[in-house]
Amino acid sequence: MKLLLLSVVVCSLTLGQSYDVLIRGGRLVDGTGNASFTGDVAIQDGRIARIGTLGNATAKRVIDAKGLVVSPGFIDIHNHSDYTLITDGNAQSMIRQGVTSMILGEGGSAAPLGGKQQELNTEADWTDFDGYFSRLLKQGVSTNVGSYVGSSQIWTYVHGERAGPPTPEELNQMQALVRQAMQQGALGVASSLSGPPGSWIDTNTLVAM
C-alpha cells in the first residue's frame, strides 16, 4: 500500500509540474527518422524539459498545436544571407518556414575582406570573421548562424579577380587567411567551382588552402 501510494504521489507531482511554455497536442516529429506521434512539449529556461502526454502540467504560456507539426528547427546548409542579415537580422523569410540555423560562406563569404573587396561592400565595417560575428551579435539575429570561409573569397583577396596560378608567396598568404578564419570560428573551406573566380582555382591550390 505504501509503495502504491508513493507511486501515485510521484506521478501526480510530475503531471502537475509547471513550465515556462507548454506546446500541447501537436504532431511531434523529432528528426531521428522515427514515426511521428501526438504529444506535448514542455520548455523550461529556454530548453526542452519534457516530451510526452503531460496531462495536468501547467505553464506560463500554453500553445495549442492541434493540427500542427512540432519539429526541431530546420538547418539551411547552403544559404547566402551573409549581407542580408546585416540589413535585417529578423530573417522573417527563414524563421517563418521553420529555418532556425543558417550556414553561410559557400564559395564567397563575408570575410576576410580587404582592398577592393572592402571598397565594394560599403556596409561592411569588419575585415575578418571576428569582426563579422561581432557585428551580428551586436545588432542581433533571429537564427543561429555559422559560416565557411569561401575559397573564392580567399582567392580574390590575395590574387584578385583573375585566372592564373598563384605565386608561392600568394599561396602562403591564402593559407594564413584560411588559418585565421578557422581560428575565428569558420566551419571549414567551401568552394563553388561552377564559375569564376571559383573555377579559376586549380585542384592543387584548393587542397593547399
pLDDT digits over 87-133, tens only? 999 999 999 999 999 999 998 999 999 876 666 666 789 999 999 99
The domain limits of the chain are 2-70, 74-208
Q: For a pLDDT cut of 70, what percent of the chain falls above it?
A: 89
> Minimal CA–CA distance to 74: which of 105, 100, 40?
100
- The whole-number pLDDT of residue 146 equals 98
Residues in the chain: 209
CATH of span 74-208: 3.20.20.140
- The whole-number pLDDT of residue 120 equals 67
- The whole-number pLDDT of residue 132 equals 97
pLDDT digits over 31-44, tens only? 889 999 999 999 99
Q: What is the DSSP letter of 190?
A: E
Grid cell of 158 as nine digits: 590575395
How many alpha carbons lie under 13 Å from residue 50 in its C-beta half-sphere? 19
Contact, 104 vs 82, CB < 8 A? yes
CATH of span 2-70: 2.30.40.10
- The whole-number pLDDT of residue 119 equals 66
Question: Residue 117 and residue 153: Cα distance in Å, rounded?
Answer: 9
Contact, 133 vs 140, CB < 8 A? no
- The whole-number pLDDT of residue 122 equals 64
pLDDT digits over 131-161, tens only? 999 999 999 999 999 999 999 999 999 999 9
**Predicted confidence (pLDDT) at residue 1 exceeds the cutoff of 80:** no
